[in-house]
Amino acid sequence: MSSAQAAKFSNELLAFIDAWKSKPGNLIMILHRVQEEKGYISKEMAQAVSELTGTHLARVYGVMSFYHFFKTQKPGKYKISICLGTACYLKGGQDLIDESRSLLGLSNDMVSTEDGLFSVEPVRCIGCCGLAPVLSVNGDVYGKLVKSQVAEIIAKYKNMK
């Protein structure tokens, strides 16, 4: 099985990679497209990009880690995004992250829960600074939060499944 088959790239994605593979700046464009289609970039997907573009795997990882935009773990069904823009940071955004991660049992570099239900990620200002600190779940925004409210929000989505 080829690495592209292992990564389960669609024909459209393969055609995009083929069209871009010899253009300057191609790696970022291609990785963007992979993340757009798959939601993240796994080891298999990075390997496939390396082979299909003839780029050393270390360089693919180099680009992925330089741009924090790229995700290496599959996001959860419910994506908890916590704002760490200035206003939210000053009003306790980091506490919301710590509380969410602790309630969901996420350790070290884990972004998603093992059952794939939740992921937690810091994001930049989402434009609701008057509601700081802000957390959103798949785009539903919760503002003026204190960390004791996080459990209730998570429970709401857990019950939806």
Binding status of residue 103 toward ligand FES by CB under 6 A: no
Binding status of residue 128 toward ligand FES by CB under 6 A: yes
- 75 to 94: interface string for ligand FES, x by CB under 6 A: --------x-xxxx------
Nearer to ligand FES, 61 or 89 (CB): 89
- Minimum CB separation of residue 26 from ligand FES in Å reads 34
Nearer to ligand FES, 10 or 86 (CB): 86
Q: How far apart are CA 81 and CA 100, in angstroms?
A: 10
Span 18-77, contacts to ligand FES by CB under 6 A: none
The residues that touch ligand FES, with contacts defined as CB under 6 A, are: 83, 85-88, 125-129, 132, 134
